Amino acid sequence: MIRSWGLAVAVAMVMGVSGGVARATDQPVDLELVLAVDASGSISTGALEFQLRGHAAAFRSQRVADALTATGNRAVAVTLVQWAGPNTLETVVPWTRIADAADAVRFADGIAKLDRAQRDGSTAIGSAIDRAADLFDHNGFEAPRQVIDICGNGFSNSGVEVSGARDRAVAKGVTINALAILDEYDWLEEYYEESVIGGPFAFVTTAENRDSFGDSITRKLVKEIAGDPGEAPAVRLAAR
């Protein structure tokens, strides 16, 4: 169900955009971004590899470097996590301040060094959202926008209900975007639109295959870093 941008603002004001009071030591940035990569049983080792390789390539791209120069504080804070079944979300690249191309390349180098072993188990998107939303608390940064990116090629089949986790994150002022890899299910974009994404200007990007994944993740990051609202300012919440 889609509600107005005015409701999004009201929710953020009531609940607090950052989920709490900023500390004096928090570094100001324009965006706090959790990149949540699917490492579940539905993802082969090769598929996990191209997800990680695609994220690393995106942060090395000139398009992302150019987007960084368009932000007010000239900086974003990013962390990369992997998830599978319930309670498996793991931070693999810690929160990092990225203010220029050199910072972005260093973040990419951190991704490139990661272990490519997939996690056993089911696909628990709702649990991943709940855990990812907690990562904004006391992370050392303060931003007007907080975003979780769910990247995957399957639907949730374990853990808490996805729409409930989405609603909890949106109530804290967090936007959830998604990148749907359509190599297994051609209807996955619609599923992510209905059940996963939420918050102001939430959107789904798709990758038809491995060849298109790199461009898809780059376009998504540019849109998020630059704060491009796109065509559909909206909040998605579960039907009451």
CATH code for position 145: 3.40.50.410
Give yes or no for residue 49 having a pLDDT over 70. Answer: yes
Token output for 90: 């793991």
The tokens of 67 are what? 């987007």
The C-alpha atoms of residue 160 and residue 127 are separated, in whole angstroms, by 6
Q: Is residue 44 assigned to a domain?
A: yes
- The mean per-residue pLDDT over the stretch 191-212 comes to 92
- Is the residue at 239 inside a domain? no
Give the domain range for residue 67.
Answer: 2-17+29-227
CA distance 155 to 123: 7
Angle formed by the axes of helices 45-60 and 210-226, nearest 10°: 40
Nearest to 58 by CA among 129, 123, 151: 151
129 falls within a domain: yes
Q: For residue 125, give the nearest of 151, 145, 146 by alpha carbon.
A: 151
Query: Can you give the pTM of this predicted structure?
Result: 0.85
Is residue 93 in a domain?
yes
Q: Return the pLDDT at 211.
A: 77
Residue 166 lies inside a defined structural domain of this protein: yes
Euclidean distance between CA atoms 186 and 198, whole angstroms: 21
Domain count for the chain: 1
Is 236 a domain residue?
no
Task: Please determine, for residue 149, whether its predicted confidence score (pLDDT) is greater than 60.
Answer: yes
Is residue 238 one of the residues assigned to a domain? no
Coil vs helix vs strand at 190: helix
Angle in degrees, CA 42, 46, 185, rounded to 5: 40
Query: What's the token pair of residue 101?
Result: 């191309």
pLDDT in tens, 68-108: 887 566 799 999 999 999 999 999 999 999 999 999 999 99
Domain assignment present for 57: yes
